[in-house]
Amino acid sequence: MSEPIRVLVTGAAGQIAYSLLYSIGNGSVFGKDQPIILVLLDITPMMGVLDGVLMELQDCALPLLKDVIATDKEEVAFKDLDVAVLVGSMPRREGMERKDLLKANVKIFKSQGAALEKYAKKSVKVIVVGNPANTNCLTASKSAPSIPKENFSCLTRLDHNRAKSQIALKLGVTADDVKNVIIWGNHSSTQYPDVNHAKVKLQGKEVGVYEALKDDSWLKGEFITTVQQRGAAVIKARKLSSAMSAAKAISDHIRDIWFGTPEGEFVSMGVISDGNSYGIPDDLLYSFPVVIKNKTWKFVEGLPINDFSREKMDLTAKELAEEKETAFEFLSSA
């Protein structure tokens, strides 16, 4: 057995965490022989609920869970962390402007970034889920200058998985027969799900998705909007936002950081754009196709970009630049 790792989940009394904690505790994220000290952070009014979550985790009797700590204090939560999964954020209330949402979240992620800087290991891997995830991630990273910015990523794997499954459903195959879809840009409705480089296994052969589907108008229209608006569709149907699928995507994202991506496959995650070869401005937290090895991600280079893609990639970059500008106005005053 290896030494236990310290893993923090914030927003730990919420519904995404409720689906996520069991996966972390049962070894399906960090492996079956990796003991874990699980730290749960939420706001003070949620401590009663969090206590119930703690009881349930104890009652799961998971052999890998060496300790579970529930707290509302950042100095306890962020101490000596190996991994921080920042799920908690201020949700958008009805009638709330995106600007107000940004302002509330800048405050949270500035504070958590500072706590990472002060208490966590410098090698900590930080995964931001709470929305607006890209900009929250950039805020946290800027607030923790001594932690390498490559250690920060945000979740666009849910969009990636949604894109994969839409293609699989359309072709009547399973999702693992589809690989190398890409989510470019922001985890918002401007994201660009791109299948120009995606492959699907049909009758034992790998074919390009465009070639397999022979339905360009669906791929350039309804497919894109379905993926972009899937979160809203789930809320409309369930009256709650995606939780099970979000938790599954977080598990996928972290497992890939921990164990690397399979040979010949790439995944989407929001990472710092510095040095990319796709004409996306530096210093944005933008979703790219990446490969991961030894817990380090690299951009997938040299994918040809057509005019249709270029326009969509630039549009979502523009939105991120605007979000960043708004957030940084608040950041300097927060």
pTM over 0.95: yes
The confidence band for 92, taking pLDDT boundaries of 50, 70 and 90, is confident
DSSP reduced 3-state for 327: helix
* Average pLDDT score over the chain: 96
Q: What is the mean pLDDT of residues 249-257?
A: 98
List CB contacts of 166: < 8 A, sequence separation 6 or more.
223, 226, 227
Q: Which residue numbers are catalytic? A: 187
- Say what the pLDDT of residue 180 is: 98
Q: At what angle do helices 98-119 and 133-142 cross, to 10 degrees?
A: 40
Alpha carbons 151 and 269: distance in angstroms, whole number: 12
Q: What is the mean pLDDT of residues 34-45?
A: 98
- Say what the pLDDT of residue 334 is: 59
Alpha carbons 285 and 270: distance in angstroms, whole number: 6
- Say what the pLDDT of residue 96 is: 77
pLDDT digits (tens, 9 = 90+) for 95-144: 777 788 899 999 999 999 999 999 999 999 999 999 999 999 999 999 99
Alpha carbons 119 and 61: distance in angstroms, whole number: 29
For residue 195, the tally of other CB atoms under 10 A from its CB is: 25
Alpha carbons 42 and 35: distance in angstroms, whole number: 23
- Annotated binding residues, written as ranges, equal 42, 92, 98, 105, 129-131, 162
pLDDT digits (tens, 9 = 90+) for 131-178: 999 999 999 999 999 999 999 999 999 999 999 999 999 999 999 999
List CB contacts of 52: < 8 A, sequence separation 6 or more.
none
pLDDT at residue 202 greater than cutoff 70:
yes
- Annotated binding residues for substrate, written as ranges, equal 92, 98, 131, 162
pLDDT at residue 41 greater than cutoff 80:
yes
- Say what the pLDDT of residue 93 is: 76
pLDDT digits (tens, 9 = 90+) for 218-245: 999 999 999 999 999 999 999 889 999 9
Alpha carbons 334 and 271: distance in angstroms, whole number: 24
Q: What is the mean pLDDT of residues 47-52?
A: 98
- Say what the pLDDT of residue 331 is: 84
- Annotated binding residues for NAD(+), written as ranges, equal 42, 105, 129-131
